[in-house]
Amino acid sequence: MATGSKINDFIEGIFEAEHNFASDTLQIALSNTAPASETSDPTATGNGILTNVTEVSYTNYTDDMAVDRVLETVTSGEASGTYTLDADDIVITASGGTLATFRYIYLFNQTSTTPTDQIIAVWDHGSGISLATGESATIQWNASGILTNA
């Protein structure tokens, strides 16, 4: 099971009105580099943007990963004082060759502009995921939502 961590800069962005999950485009990025091993650790305050993540090559996927990494059917809202963000699970399938190994799954706001592509959270799968042609992996969000705040 993957372990998730919120990004410090994201918390600041919530309270400074940088995100609107009802209309922003949320997307995932895949990496095989530990956040602390990046040149600028994207989990550290002031570094929570996608350019600080070494993404894997998105070749040998069945579909256009520029499109398929976008979260679909995003729902967000408040009920009884608890805000929940959720979306459909994402299925990644290797096609035409082995998929680049990834271990870290970043969720970022592709719509954010100040800063650009602000990271929301990162999940560490615990080990690398490698897919041969025809194999799939599902990024399955928590049954109670991607994130909640009460």
In whole angstroms, what is the distance from residue 78 CA to residue 46 CA? 28
Could you tell me if residue 46 is left (phi over 0), alpha (psi between -120 and 50 degrees) or otherwise beta? left
Residue with tokens 């993540």: 53
- Mean pLDDT confidence for 116-135: 93
Contact assessment for residue 105 and residue 123, using Cβ atoms and an 8 Å cutoff: yes
pTM value is 0.86
Q: What is the pLDDT of residues 35-66, one digit of tens each?
A: 999 999 999 999 999 999 999 988 877 665 66
Domains of the chain: which residue ranges? 3-141
What is the rounded CA–CA span in Å between residue 103 and residue 81?
Answer: 34
> Please, which pLDDT band fits residue 112 given cuts at 50, 70 and 90?
confident
